[in-house]
Structure 1
Amino acid sequence: MKLATISILLFTFSLIFISHAPLPSLGKNLHESLCDEVKEDKGRCLEVFKGDPGIAKAKDNFELSKLILEFALKKGIEAQNFLKEVMKTNPSPAIKQCATIIYDGVIESLKNSLGELGGDGQTSSYDVQVASDGPITCDKALSESNITNPSIVAFNRDILLLSNLAFRVIDKSSQDVESDLYAAKILANLIVMGGGILARAVVQAYRQALTNASKNGVAQETIQNTIRRASKAMTEQEARQILGVSKETPWEEVIKKYDNLFESNAKSGSFYLQSKVQRAKECLEEVQQGKSKLPITPFNPYPHTLNAKPSGASTSQVKLFSHFKKKVTLEMEKELKEVTLGRFGLEQMNTSKITQKIKNDDDD
């Protein structure tokens, strides 16, 4: 498809995406909205965050997660250093346990959580939860030993609070990443389905071209070349090159390659490459279905134009014509309905204008 065609699909998708994008609380920064979630500790939350001015400037949940984890790690190291100083004058087993085993674990868990951030969100969340156990265990050990130290209690309280806040925002960040990836897959499907819309337009144009050819003497080869150019079909070899697989590659490995490439291009924001990866996967799916002898049921939006052989068409033209029938599959139609109706509750998209625009672009 041409740039104008892709732009129309991008515009359609953006309207859907924007209408469902979560909005922060009116007039509040992300960190303030986060503090609202811990009602009993809201005041302390805002006070602790003043220790790192950068937190108030966070633009998204990922950045906020990173800043909070870095701040929690800094506070954890401060707490451990303080405990080690206390241990010099009060070498009790409880103080030693807090200063070594417990806070070694807190710092290690915070480092791990920070390292996993942006990659494995679940592991990052788990690690920060483990870190939150440290202050609780330390307080319990001091209480059982009848040791009272307000400074240690304050450190433990802040580390526990920061860990809980980090857990909350990491979960939000992970949901954002999943939503972005899902949205990107919908976008790629919309781009690919644009080819299906184009196919319907070309089918109608094909019949008209045959009529014109018989009237004006236009060469059949010219008609075939025009339709070939519009279809932009992908060969099996091209699909395998894009995904980096061979004929011997197991299907499970092909899917892994697709997922990795799609996610990689989602992070880089390359929607064009995503659409190529999506097309490659669909091409190989058809090949795989053929090997498994699974039926491919085509969706037929225009039974009067798709079922019968066009009048005056040659055998090679019929084969090319059949190619379009396969491209407009039941699966693609189902996906389009889910995007426009089931998942977003929108009215049926008016594709007639999009179809006409695509025809006009490709006629230029």
Structure 2
Amino acid sequence: MDRLKQIAKQTVAGSAPVSSPMHPLDPLSPQEIKAVASIVKAKNKGKEIMFNTVTLKEPVKLAYYHWKEKGGPMPARLAYYVVVEEGATAVQEGLVDIPGQKVIDIRNTEGVQPILTPADLQATEDIVRNDPTVIEQCVLSGVPKEDMKNVYCDAWTIGYDERWGASRRLQQALMYWRSDEDDLHYSHPLDFCPIVDMNAKKVIYIDIPNRRRKVSKHKHANFHPNSIKAKYGTKENPLGYRQDDTPINVTQPNGVSFKMAGNVINWSNFSIHIGFNYREGIVLSDITYNDHGKVRPMFHRISLSEMIVPYGSPDFPHQRKHALDIGEYGAGN
């Protein structure tokens, strides 16, 4: 306990004190994430780095149950991180000892690319909108140069492309045009597909089909409230929505039927630790069932390991839409 109090008082380069977790499987707190970021930045002083991942490195099973069942010490509180260094081809991954305030392992791995982040996906749209070659293709497709603000894209990982292999961190941008800001942009697809290097932050190639087609500007069905109001609104019912529904009330007058202690939920004889990380999203751990006073262990850990969606459309540019949603994007991001 003295050691835990000591840990709670430790600070990292001007950050707030890093408090000890209630449970060794609890996700990293905002304080811990800031502390890890400070430690990694100090280790990479003078380098331009971008954080891709900062997450809990869960303790091994033996250490966890030694703590839980035998009163052993709290397992080591470690963080796993991934950073991308500007100008470097290798991906840096490592482990940080949070109480010890130090990096304890670093690996620079070539020939791999880390998960795409929400920031990556968002940046892709700005990159393609401002690229001269993309603007040229938009004009050829029937979108005026001055209307680029209404050009949008779905950023997709490109997976493995034999033209570049795994040497570059690539995305493909599936392009669309909106007739106004409330439109569903999927109604107006463009027929070309820019390839974006996320480390270089530029378009490196544009895939163009052999047979071109102009963007469709046909007016389509729209379920936005303004469209429903314009089409179905009346003096008696200006919003245009149905008004024949009866009220629905869902109540629990005696409160909820579960109890929370930190990240541990107890419900109907079950006890479950609820964790969370960038890759898998929700993680359920140490699941037990109280069978008439005998606590029976059921699962050590349950999570979603991968979700693969092969879209299967042969039409350009959708033939490359094959999503590995967990490994490429993360269910928790």
**Which category of TM-score, normalised to the shorter sequence, fits these structures?**
under 0.3
Structure whose CA Rg is larger: 1
Higher relative contact order (CA 8 A, sep 6+): 1
Normalising to structure 2: TM-score of the pair?
0.25
